[in-house]
Structure 1
Amino acid sequence: MTDFPTLTWPDTDGPRTLRWRSEAGVPAPKRVVVADDRTTADVAYRLACEGTALLWRGDYQNARQLLQAMARRAEHKPRKGGAPKAPATPIEAFHLHRQAQAQRARTLGMVLLPIEGDYSIALRRAPDAKLACEEAWGAPDGEPSAVSLREVLGLIGAHEWRRKGVAIPALGGAHIHPYYGVFSPVRGEYLDLVARVPLPSEALKKAFDIGTGTGVIAAVLASRGVKHVVATDQDARALACARENLDRLGYGDQVEVIEVDLFPPGRAPLVVCNPPWVPARPASPIEYAVFDPDSRMLRGFLAGLKDHLEPGGEGWLILSDFAEHLGLRTREALVEWIVEAGLEVAGREDIRPRHPKASDPTDPLHRARTAEVTSLWRLKVRSE
């Protein structure tokens, strides 16, 4: 246990210690009290807001209900100084939204569960979460630990996503099974673009899929008849997830999945990349699929594309303009990066989002979401 952070709390027989687990890298709480079915939501919420964690020793389902009650208090927490002013700009709305999300996550993350060394939860009415934990953490080593209840619920939810899969219309309704920590392709409109935009003349021979994640884009390309797809990623979970999905769909022989940052060696007539769409700092590992600090992956793809395209080939950049509507990036900056990379735009296909938040007027970022367009930019090496 010396290689792991630990959680310590007072007990009748003296201080006790458990290994601390946090996929998001949250430090172990410094103050911990034992809580059970007698703990009220008001008391739990007050302690959590003060930075005190509650190690749960009661009924598992009661812990879930307590967390839900705390979440309602977090949503209706009165603000100092009365009602807040409306954000002056979209970027201010975005930052306030992120701050509120972070504060909510910190508070609700203070309800902790003890996990046994075999990943069982020794609480009344607790589910069997062994397989969900093993999928995320690997084989158990016999060492008990403490974990945020929210994280355990996330593990269980991710296990269900992985078991049931996500139906992909662009694959004729076939399912992609995302792993824990690998972004699920629930927004299918960008895949419709990959499925319908005409392929370059030589693309049936070979294509690169940069940052493959679940392998879904590589699968769509293979389904369109591309004989050899090289799919890259640098995340171990994503690589394993992509390989399993592609094998399950029958494309394992067509798609080669390799570990590399951005581009594989060589060139291809088609290079596809769906980078994270929002240039901001992620708050947890799974958010790296959404947030791209300083547009690192986007700019890296553009800067290296010229050296990995065959003559006459195309690079397909799949990107939402959501960040532009938030004021986090300008269209002018994107076009400038394309030009600086020695590229030119050969065409662009657009599509509107279909996800529920796009039509939710209560969403703090509703204005930007209603204006959002997802595009497939067809890029070519600029002729001198």
Structure 2
Amino acid sequence: MSTEVRQEMTDGEMGAPVRWYSANGTPRPERVVSVPDTVSVAAGHRMMTQGSAVLWSGDYPSALRLLAAPGRRTEPNHRPLAETPAEAFERHRRDQARRARLLGRLLIPYGADWAIALRRAHRVREACVHTYGPCAGPGVGSLRELLGVIGAYEWHSKSVEIPALGGDRIHPHYGVFSPVRGEYVDLVADAELPRGHTAFDIGTGTGVLSSVLARRGLRHVVATDQDARAVRCARDNAARHGLTTRIAVRQADLFPEGRADLIVCNPPWLPGQP
């Protein structure tokens, strides 16, 4: 995903439009301040807390250190003396969201073909192509998001072994929940199946439950997800398992059309209002 963002230099002059890269839908920053690697951690943190995105122009290791330092500064200093578990969880989520917004304001420049335009930068082309697609040209993006893209690509390359699939593996994509905890997979693998041949897998994610059901004999599994990344991931895994004739993956908000003999869903566990 790429859009255009204007770069506000430290002297206040507007630069040329710069392409903005984001895979998770983060809106482009309204203010971007270009800083050298001589800026102090306190100064960089102050710019970010005041709402400015910081475009790093030093070397890559220094950018990683700057990202880590504000991260430590964003840790809450106190906890309420009395709160319910639900209140503690909601507070934790608010703190995490605030921290993510702040750390997402540290930006790095991309050159041609996903080369990071910083000294001593790592090669990230394969990870970026897997998540963003071909590079559309020089631009900027969040360093925090890039680290997530790299981590997701490592998970995708390494994959996750699923015993319920006879040792076959699931390859997660960026932004799609990885089935590293197998309790819900084992539940579907061991539960008695009703009579019939059609199943719905709601919120399929990687498509792991669809593959388990298809391997257990369900002739027609309709897997749905509202996230386009999950749809691509589930289709990729169904193809890897040779189950494309049994599994139909569709982008939908909850249920597809029709009826099924079985419906499975591993919903988000966040305690919020439905």
Q: Could you tell me the TM-score, scaled by structure 2's length?
A: 0.88
Which residue number corresponds to residue 227 of structure 1? 219
Which residue number corresponds to residue 120 of structure 1? 115
Task: Give the partner amino acid of 2:225.
Answer: D
| CA distance, structure 1, for counterparts of residue 236 and residue 25 of structure 2 | 27
Which residue number corresponds to residue 83 of structure 2? 88
* CA positional deviation for 1:109: 1.5
Are 1:216 and 2:200 matched, yes or no? Answer: no
Which residue number corresponds to residue 74 of structure 1? 74
Contact 1:155 1:180 in 2 (8 A): yes
| CA distance, structure 1, for counterparts of residue 12 and residue 80 of structure 2 | 51
Contact 1:29 1:53 in 2 (8 A): yes
Task: Give the partner amino acid of 2:6.
Answer: L
Per-residue CA deviations over 1:167-220 (Å, capped at 9, x if unaligned) read: 2232233211111122222221111111111111x24x3322222221100011
Larger CA deviation: 101-110 vs 38-47: 38-47
Which residue number corresponds to residue 146 of structure 2? 152
What SS does the aligned partner of 2:214 have?
helix
Contact 2:86 2:271 in 1 (8 A): no
* CA positional deviation for 1:8: 1.9
Which residue number corresponds to residue 6 of structure 2? 7
Are 1:169 and 2:163 matched, yes or no? Answer: yes
Are 1:182 and 2:181 matched, yes or no? Answer: no
Which residue number corresponds to residue 307 of structure 1? none
1:303-318 alignment to 2 at 5 Å? none
* CA positional deviation for 1:127: 1.9
Which residue number corresponds to residue 333 of structure 1? none
Which residue number corresponds to residue 99 of structure 2? 104
* CA positional deviation for 1:14: 4.3
How has the CA–CA distance of structure 1 residues 267 and 242 changed in structure 2, closer, same or farther, with 3 Å as cutoff?
A: same
| CA distance, structure 1, for counterparts of residue 82 and residue 142 of structure 2 | 32
Task: Give the partner amino acid of 1:59.
Answer: D
Match of 2:185 among 169, 191, 201: 191
What SS does the aligned partner of 2:210 have?
helix
How has the CA–CA distance of structure 1 residues 212 and 115 changed in structure 2, closer, same or farther, with 3 Å as cutoff?
A: same
Which residue number corresponds to residue 363 of structure 1? none
* CA positional deviation for 1:43: 2.4
Which residue number corresponds to residue 265 of structure 2? 273
CA RMSD of aligned residues (A): 2.4
| CA distance, structure 2, for counterparts of residue 21 and residue 136 of structure 1 | 11
How has the CA–CA distance of structure 1 residues 46 and 261 changed in structure 2, closer, same or farther, with 3 Å as cutoff?
A: closer
Contact 2:23 2:132 in 1 (8 A): no
| CA distance, structure 1, for counterparts of residue 219 and residue 181 of structure 2 | 26
Task: Give the partner amino acid of 2:181.
Answer: R
> Could you say which structure has the larger radius of gyration?
1
| CA distance, structure 2, for counterparts of residue 241 and residue 186 of structure 1 | 16
Task: Give the partner amino acid of 2:48.
Answer: A
Count how many residue pairs are aligned between Structure 1 and Structure 2. 272
Per-residue CA deviations over 1:50-97 (Å, capped at 9, x if unaligned) read: 22322111111221122112222222x64xxxx442242122212211
Gap regions ≥5 residues in structure 2: none
Which residue number corresponds to residue 131 of structure 1? 126
Task: Give the partner amino acid of 1:183.
Answer: F
Gap regions ≥5 residues in structure 1: 281-293, 296-384
* CA positional deviation for 1:260: 3.4
Per-residue CA deviations over 1:218-267 (Å, capped at 9, x if unaligned) read: 01112222232222233322222111111112222322223333333333
| CA distance, structure 2, for counterparts of residue 87 and residue 116 of structure 1 | 51
| CA distance, structure 2, for counterparts of residue 251 and residue 193 of structure 1 | 21
Which residue number corresponds to residue 250 of structure 2? 258
How has the CA–CA distance of structure 1 residues 208 and 37 changed in structure 2, closer, same or farther, with 3 Å as cutoff?
A: same
What percentage of aligned pairs have identical amino acids?
51
Per-residue CA deviations over 1:131-162 (Å, capped at 9, x if unaligned) read: 322222232222x2211110111111111111
Larger CA deviation: 169-178 vs 22-31: 22-31
How has the CA–CA distance of structure 1 residues 45 and 193 changed in structure 2, closer, same or farther, with 3 Å as cutoff?
A: same
